[in-house]
Amino acid sequence: MRVFRFLAAGCVVGAVAVGGFTLGTWVARPKPAVTAVSLPATPPKPQEMPKAQDKASTVVRPVTYETPQSPRDMAPVPDLPKPGEFAALPPTPAGFGEAKLPPLPSPAQPAGAHPIPPPPLGGVGTLPPLPPAGNSAGFAMPRIERPEPAGRLPAPELPPVDKPAVPPLPKPAEPATQYVNKPDLAFDYEVTKQGKSGVKAVVLFAKPLPDTAWAEAAKAEVGGAERPKLAYTLPKEGRYGFRVGVSSGTVTATPPKATDEPEMVVVFDKTPPTIEWFKLMPTPPAAPHPNILAFQWRVTDANLAERPVFLEYQVPGKEQWAPIGERTGEYLATWATPNDVPATVRVRLTAIDRAGNTSHKVIEAVNTDHTVPRGRLTGVKAVEVKKPELPDLPPIPKSDEPK
């Protein structure tokens, strides 16, 4: 075994050989010298970059720093150039960025076409006016007929769709209306809400309609559970609106606003309806019953009832009146007289309005028997008729003949 050692490139190289074969080699390198470097207590701050004075010839490159992990990895910071020491960029070569594309060839225009002039510099050109519509000279628009495809079915006619009717908005409930034929009134009421001080008085407010000013009409002092009625006398015929107010120990009832609707409407009407005429009509010839009577009338009033008229009859010698049918709102009526009604009766018409006023009119001696008497022959036989015996008459004396 032989060991060889030699020096190469500052390193010690060795080898081991046995019988002509090399068993191994090694290299011994010298250790590098360690140089101590003093580090600042805090990492260095980046220096401010100089302001560029000429944007065209100055290139500003940002400088970044990283905190070194160890003294070996820290690279020395180069000194930054002072302001004004930046190298100027080379000038732009002539013709750079000024290349121009070759002009496009203009397309060939067809014969008879209208040339369009180029637009003027600095603005948009105006197109030449179009020729007038129709077959003008030198210009005609052909009409293109669109053929209908074969076998195309016509569009079906759809029925019109009815729009649903929009229901009208509900009207506010109208106040209750009372009709009276006497001026003296007495109102009932109830207190629907009260406080700790209780109810001291109830006030009735009234106004003639359609006026808007409310006025105090009556007042009733309330004590305990007693509720006295509110009395009021209407001054004249007409329509009146009424509202009620309640006074407590701390709050006094005030008149309603002009726009407040009345709680109750009272119509004072003491005028009876007017019966302009009432008559018996001839019995129609085609009447199914021989004793049918037809009556006709005319009644007027400002406040007629819904069914304002009814008929009655009276048998002579009696005071009672019996009804003829039901009340009606028509202007005529027919009466099929029963068999138990006498041949002659009195018929009275009564008209009534909503306030209870009535009017009467009577037709005297109405004939209820319109039956035409009829008869027929039942047989015949011969009888001997005796001539009456006449007494002998004295002879008639002869008159003297004239001489």
Q: Which fold does the domain 176-268 belong to in CATH?
A: Immunoglobulin-like (2.60.40)
What is the model's pLDDT at position 56? 47
Closest CA to 214 of 256, 185, 247: 256
| Position 217 pLDDT exceeds 60 | yes
**What tens digit of pLDDT does each residue of 19-29 get?**
555 555 555 55
Residue 393's alpha-carbon distances to 303, 387, 397, in angstroms, are 87, 17, 12
Q: What angle do CA 385, 388, 394 make, to 5 degrees?
A: 155
pTM over 0.85: no
What is the model's pLDDT at position 131? 59
Structural domain boundaries of the chain? 1-31, 176-268, 274-367
Residue 311's alpha-carbon distances to 318, 335, 381, in angstroms, are 17, 10, 54
Beta strands 304-314; 344-353: pairing state:
antiparallel
Beta strands 11-18; 21-28: pairing state:
antiparallel
**What tens digit of pLDDT does each residue of 231-261 get?**
999 999 999 999 999 998 888 888 999 889 9
State how far Cα 246 lies from the chain centre: 38
| Position 205 pLDDT exceeds 70 | yes
Cis before residue 210, ω within 30 degrees of 0?
yes
**What tens digit of pLDDT does each residue of 61-95 get?**
555 555 555 555 566 666 666 665 555 556 666 65
- Enumerate the β-bridge partners of residue 221: 201
What is the model's pLDDT at position 57? 47
**What tens digit of pLDDT does each residue of 150-169 get?**
666 677 777 787 777 778 77
pLDDT level of residue 338 (50, 70, 90 thresholds): confident
**DSSP calls for 15-31:** EEEETTEEEEEEEEPPP
Average pLDDT value over all residues in the chain: 75
Residue 254 near residue 241, CB atoms below 8 Å: no
Q: Which residues of 282-330 form beta strands (DSSP E)?
A: 292-300, 304-314, 322-328
Per 3-state DSSP, what percentage of the chain is helix, strand, and coil (rounded to 5)? Answer: 0, 35, 65
Question: What 3-state DSSP class applies to 102?
Answer: coil
- Highest-scoring range by mean pLDDT, 82-91, 98-107, 332-341: 332-341
Amino acid at 81: P
Q: Which fold does the domain 274-367 belong to in CATH?
A: Immunoglobulin-like (2.60.40)
| Same fold for the pair 176-268 and 274-367 | yes
What is the model's pLDDT at position 22? 55
